[in-house]
A and B are shown apart, each in its own frame.
Chain A
Amino acid sequence: MTLSAQAPGPDTGAAQGMTIVARTQAQMVRRRFFRHRAALAGMIIFGFVLLLSFSSIGFLGIPGWWDKSYLATGALVNQGKPTLSVVPEFLGGSGIGLGEHPFGQDDIGVDYFAKTMRGAQQSIIVAFLVAIVATSVGTLIGAVAGYYRGKTESVLMRFTDVMITIPVLVIAAVIGRRFGDSGVVLLGTFIGLVIWPSMARLLRGEFLSLREKEFVEAARALGTPARRIIFRHILPNTVGVIIVAATLSVANAVLLESALSFLGLGVQAPDTSLGQLINEYRTAMVTRPWLFWWPGIFIIAIALSINFIGDGLRDAFDPRQTRVRA
């Protein structure tokens, strides 16, 4: 008996007539995401902020296109008022241009544009670190608890519950006080180690339902080791949930970092972050409002745009979502 004789050649007709145009999940997600207007706008705004902050003053010693430093002081020009002008001359303004100090200067003559950009950089770095650390830890703990169940689950989830009961800001404040001046990398990592519990709960729920699926049983029937079942068979099925939760936690982390720095417990001078800038100049609200508004606007822009992106991703990953956004 020849087995190969059963396999038809490539020209058996049917193959050509039945070209299936199936979209992979990734394609469908992309499609739905780009139809989500708010998410698209969020992505453009966030991309712009990211590009602006990292390209203007440079990063890690790589120089940017903006010639002033966020540390160097200079002579106060026009009481440090912003020179940015967006009103064209024919409307009675002074024309569109950046000027010498587009965002103005602070009380000792440091260029406030450079300072705000540095703050945005720091805030974004902290936020992404927090999200990465919290997502990894939360995913790992949730996955192990959900898959193994029993004692493992009890121990891990009670630990998670304890972590949840302690107010995040309190722990973060302690961490910030201890590590705030040792750089944003440590700060972000440690804050991430505090806010993972919600992620762990989410992932545990996902795993509890997925572990009962027949394809998991099939994997077990193939003698697949538990570690491989968790990471190769179940975890990829939770990618949507993870991406969405991670995105939203970026936005939360931006706000948390700002709150910490505002309380004086986050990033310490002479380095700066958006929250720290607001804290420093909250009293200048009336006299030199630009010192308060610029970092504020950037916090809002970053947090809002990332939230919109997360919102769009959630809709895009939801297979029940059939409504087409016009």
Chain B
Amino acid sequence: MTTPPNVPLEPHAVDPHAFDNPVTGASQLLDSAEEVHVGLTLDAVRPPSEEEILTVENLTVEFPTEDGLVHAVRGVSYTLREREVLGIVGESGSGKSVSSLAVMGLLPKSARVKGRILFRGDDMLKMSARRQRGLRGRKIAMVFQDPMTALNPVHTIGDQLAEAVLAHELMPRKTALARAKEMLDLVGIPQAEARLRSYPHEFSGGMRQRAMIAMAVINNPDVIIADEPTTALDVTVQAQILEKLLEVKDAVNAAIVLITHDLGVIAGMAHRVLVMYAGRPVELGDTDSVFEEPRMPYTAGLLGSIPSLDKGSGSARLRPIKGTPPSLINLPTGCPFSPRCPLATDVCRTEEPPLAETDGGGHYAACHHWDRLAAAEDPTEFFRTESETVA
């Protein structure tokens, strides 16, 4: 069975006019219901090269707290190739944000970070603070979740964009502002010249996130870390922002680490996907391969719990994953997903499976029983609820 689960993704299904002009009023809301496919898909942008620019090796992050040591990230490894989009999915507390903050060097001082973070072969954790700061914003940039709070309320957008340039390069302010205007044009903010003088509160949510994207790419970075870039936005502008992100990435030749809990976003945006659970990567592979043939019950469960808008599909009922993620202070022995896993056996409760290659194609999973998922016709069927069988 190869039918992908019906994810309400389609990040490109927006009205072309809405995309052109983010300040139009309500009319675009109505138009967008027509779902016209426009713009960019992942296939349309330049494909990733083989060169690895960011390598994370066995990254662990721990926070000492009064209740004990919080194991926020436990051994994350991944590589990011030039121009690649790597999606990191997981629920709250799975360590996806913390691991990328570690890459940015933005964790609080109390955090204990171990492992290696190689940017073009240089270990960022061993670098001097000065060199690390030189990379931040210039080579590795970040798009934050909430553009409301991530922009400084007392400076104009133009000043803030120029500031991002001036933090790394000495140049006349005029030159920096000209560059800022160019970037606002690039992210599709109309009347860029006038908008440079606007304050963040005069922008709509979508425009603010565009400005954030402009700020992230203004120094031509090699890696953009986007931490849930659309979570704080209206559903109608989410697709526009994602598409813009792809377009901008292509323009500056950057790779993206896209952190989200929205599988739909990943499906339309990422070349590869890393699924995290309880601070550990549990599945890694090409997006298509992970979505169509999940080899870890957690991934299968996530896919099964997405509501389907496709009326024709077999089961209308959601198949939720029961239970909650474990506490990161007292982790259970064995596989952390075993208490919630319908496939769990004794070995799962005693031995934590490593992230190992499954049936080829660069598809890795951390599961003792990935072969049972491979054999199943519908990998989400293990999560079928009793009420569903009654119905």
Contacts and interface: CB of A to CB of B under 8 A. Distances in A.
A174 to B, nearest CB: 40
A213 interface: yes
Interface in B351-391: none
B106 A217 contact: yes
Nearest to B132: A223
Given A17-B25, A221-B104, A222-B215, A7 B136 contact: no
Interface string B96-109: 00000000101001
Contact of A22 (B138, B185, B199): B199
B144 A214 contact: yes
Contacts of B212: 218
Interface stretch (B6-14, B162-170, B274-282, B289-297): B162-170
A224 B163 contact: yes
A92 interface: no
B35 interface: no
Most buried by B among A15, A213, A222, A236: A222
A240 to B, nearest CB: 10
Contacts of A223: 133-138, 167-168
A62 interface: no
B86 interface: no
B152 interface: yes
A1 B202 CA distance: 30
Most buried by B among A24, A219, A221, A224: A221
Query: Chain A's interface: helix, strand, loop or mixed, by majority?
Result: helix
B250 A1 contact: yes
B150 A7 contact: no
Contact of A237 (B40, B154, B191, B199): B154
Interface string A12-24: 1111011010101
Nearest to B247: A3
A20 to B, nearest CB: 6
Contact of A218 (B40, B133, B150, B199): B150
Contacts of B186: 3
A24 B23 contact: no
Interface stretch (A37-45, A133-141, A181-189, A225-233): A225-233
A25 interface: yes
Contacts, number: 112
Given A8-B20, A22-B201, A24-B199, A225 B133 contact: yes
A129 to B, nearest CB: 28
Given A22-B201, A237-B153, A237-B154, A221 B25 contact: no
A215 interface: yes
Nearest to B22: A14
Contacts of B104: 221
A225 B153 CA distance: 19
Contacts of A232: 163
A93 interface: no
Contacts of A150: 109
A10 B150 contact: no
Most buried by B among A4, A24, A214, A223: A223
B206 to A, nearest CB: 13
A15 B141 contact: no
A322 interface: no
B35 to A, nearest CB: 20
A302 to B, nearest CB: 31
Contacts of B247: 1, 3, 6
A18 B25 contact: yes
A222 B164 contact: yes
Contacts of B138: 223
B284 interface: no
A13 B20 CA distance: 12
A15 B23 CA distance: 7
A220 interface: yes
A61 B256 CA distance: 68
Contacts of B136: 220-223
19 contacts: A1-B44, A3-B251, A6-B19, A7-B185, A8-B21, A12-B20, A12-B21, A18-B23, A20-B202, A22-B201, A25-B199, A215-B151, A218-B151, A219-B163, A220-B106, A221-B144, A224-B137, A233-B155, A236-B152
Q: Which 6 A-B pairs have the closest CB atoms?
A: A223-B137, A222-B137, A223-B136, A214-B149, A221-B142, A14-B24
Interface of B: 19-21, 23-25, 40, 44, 104, 106, 109, 133-138, 141-142, 144, 146, 149-155, 163-164, 167-168, 185-186, 188, 190-192, 198-199, 201-202, 212, 215, 247, 250-251
